[in-house]
Chains A and B, each alone.
Chain A
Amino acid sequence: MDILAEASRATRNFGSFTAVSAVDLAVGRGEVVGLLGANGAGKTTLIRLLLGLLRPSDGTVRLFGAPPSISTRRRVGYVPQTLGLYAGLTVAENWSFTAAAFRRARAAIPGNISAWKNELVGGLPLGAQRQVAFAVALSHQPELLILDEPTSGVGPLGGARLWEQIRQAAGGAAGALVTTHNMEEAEQCDRLVMMAAGKVVATGTAAGIIGDRKATEIHCDDPGRVFAVLDASDFAVQVQGAALRVAAPAAAVAGVISRAGLDAVVEVVPANLEEAFVALAGRPEAG
């Protein structure tokens, strides 16, 4: 597989603060890699390293096989969360501005957004705005796409449609790196790289990362007291429909409940990606 962007034990310090620590990451042609992590986990710094906006304090970073530079950066398409569009301009005006900036003034507006040609971007619904942002970023045919939470807020069908476009672009001659802290987006990627506090804490497919991890579902008549008892023992309890759910082994949970003299039916269920993430990422800051 052709590797488009690669970080090898990349580290970046800001004074005494280590933003990124010995990170390995590779994005190949044709694949969609998800970079998952909380704010402050180092995702943004890592992206900047890959783009050459920052230089690594240690380790290596390669973009299209060479250290990142202005010319290689031109082959990257970036869509930030704020979309990078001018809300006060129409779709056509945004298109021609970007086209002119990348010196491709004659590029024609693609079919899927041409219906909104003369609409102000600010007046379009979010899903449409994201499609426009995406099309504009693709207008110079980049080989690597870097997308920040591309489908956030659009709902499942709108999200699936955006993913169609992402897959189409990635399936062609490009690859995509999607940064997110949204589990649904993460599950759409081919594989994930999970970061916390500057380090990579897990890699692989979503199923692979969850592995054999289990959670516990509790059915009881008095959820209030069971919740209080589990909460007091510092278990992370949540409501799940009419039941309760805890990201902890069933035996421990059952023990606490019975010791409190309460009655409940305890069921083992597979953990979900969010629970795996919390377990691996730990607590970012205390208070």
Chain B
Amino acid sequence: MWAMIAKEFHELQRDRRTVAMMIVLPVVLLVVFGYAANFKVHDIPVAAVGPGASQAAALLREPTFHVTDVDPAAGESAAQARLRDGQDVIAVVTGGGRPLVLMDGTQLFSVETAESALARLAPTAGTPAPRVRILYNPDLTTSWIMVPGLAGLILVFIGTLITSLGVVRERQAGTLEQLAVMPFRAWDVIAGKIAPYLMVAAVDLVFIVVIGMGVFHVPFVGNVAVFALGAALFLLVTLGMGIMVSTVSQNQGQAIQLAFMLVLPQVLLSGLIFPISSMAAGVRWISYVLPLTYFIQVSRGVMLKAAPISALAEPLALLAVLAVAVLGLAIIRFRRDLAPSSRTTQAAARTAERAAA
């Protein structure tokens, strides 16, 4: 029996990917939970508008609140626009009786923290108690904000994990070598590989959204075209990641391990569960490089807030940049697997063929 144990240890120490998973993963999880996972929110972005804006702003103290703008000239519609565009989570509208506190219902934890903070504010003599109106997700239903996020998660799974398996399976079976010798251009093979997964992911996405709307009554108040654009760009990024994983994996087991290590941080740090604004700065930068973070902004923005494309310009543009970068790199690497023969030998071969003919 000891012989078995010793042998297993020897084999394990040489399997670097598994070792990485066993050591790196718990460390990552610890860091995430230590610094990122935070249900208590602070630095909630607030704007104050209307004639009583400055007084309102004075009451909204750090560390819970972070006043971004005080604009006595603006009114309720401007405040709503700021919430819809994601610039602020809370907006205080003063003037004309009781102050109105608008809250962005898609930021669940921020709203709950803000509500309890407001309740603790000592009422100032002469100032009527504020009215609170929660926009976009008035009942603070969890499923309403999870479903758009899960839509993104599905795309990550199909894009990264399943695509990488599809390509690695071909490499493992040896048929990739053959494709390289057939009269295919590298682009034919790549497009042929990506297209089915693109289509399946699109169908899956529609499914999730429809079921979300039907079963959980998640609203879809925004522009479908904007949603589709965000989804398409995001999908291209994840597909690119899938192909990258496949170019560094020799078999399906390795592909799964690597894909898993890429998916897990996205689940934890993209704002799907834990709000980004409450993550420690040292960890928050990771969210800013994850594509899922931006897709969630787009999907929640469109489905729940009817955010216009101008408001979502930033996440869409970033997704576009990531798509070009990741997919571009993936294609370059994949081409090397398919067409190692450089132009010089082929030209020589053609010349020789012509001479022999």
Given a CB threshold of 8 Å, the question of whether A touches B is answered with: yes
A226 CA / B295 CA spacing, docked (Å): 69
> Would you call A101 and B3 a contact (CB within 8 A)?
yes
B354 within 8 A of A: no
Chain A residues 86 to 134 lying within 8 A of chain B, measured CB to CB, are 86, 88-90, 93, 96-97, 100-101, 120
> Would you call B3 and A96 a contact (CB within 8 A)?
yes
CB-nearest residue of chain B relative to A103?
B3
- Taking CB atoms, residues of chain A closer than 8 Å to B10 are 88-90, 93
B343 within 8 A of A: no
B7 within 8 A of A: yes
A88 partner, pick from B2, B3, B4, B11, beta carbons under 8 A:
B11
Is chain B's binding surface mostly helix, strand, loop or mixed? helix
Question: How close is B182's CB to chain A, nearest CB, in angstroms?
Answer: 26
- Taking CB atoms, residues of chain B closer than 8 Å to A100 are 2-3
CB-nearest residue of chain A relative to B12?
A88
A100 CA / B4 CA spacing, docked (Å): 9
> Would you call A86 and B2 a contact (CB within 8 A)?
no
Chain B residues 1 to 19 lying within 8 A of chain A, measured CB to CB, are 2-4, 6-7, 10-11, 14-15
A-B contact count (CB 8 A): 23
CB-nearest residue of chain B relative to A105?
B3
A86 CA / B13 CA spacing, docked (Å): 14
> Would you call A97 and B14 a contact (CB within 8 A)?
no
> Would you call B6 and A88 a contact (CB within 8 A)?
no
Question: How close is B250's CB to chain A, nearest CB, in angstroms?
Answer: 12
Question: How close is A274's CB to chain B, nearest CB, in angstroms?
Answer: 27
- Taking CB atoms, residues of chain B closer than 8 Å to A93 are 6-7, 10
CB-nearest residue of chain A relative to B14?
A88
Residue numbers of B with Cβ under 8 A of A are 2-4, 6-7, 10-11, 14-15
A-B contact pairs, 7 of them (CB 8 A): A88-B14, A96-B6, A97-B4, A97-B6, A97-B7, A100-B3, A120-B14
Additional A-B contacts beyond A88-B15, A97-B3, A97-B4 (20; CB < 8 A): A86-B7, A86-B11, A88-B10, A88-B11, A88-B14, A89-B7, A89-B10, A89-B11, A90-B10, A93-B6, A93-B7, A93-B10, A96-B3, A96-B6, A97-B6, A97-B7, A100-B2, A100-B3, A101-B3, A120-B14
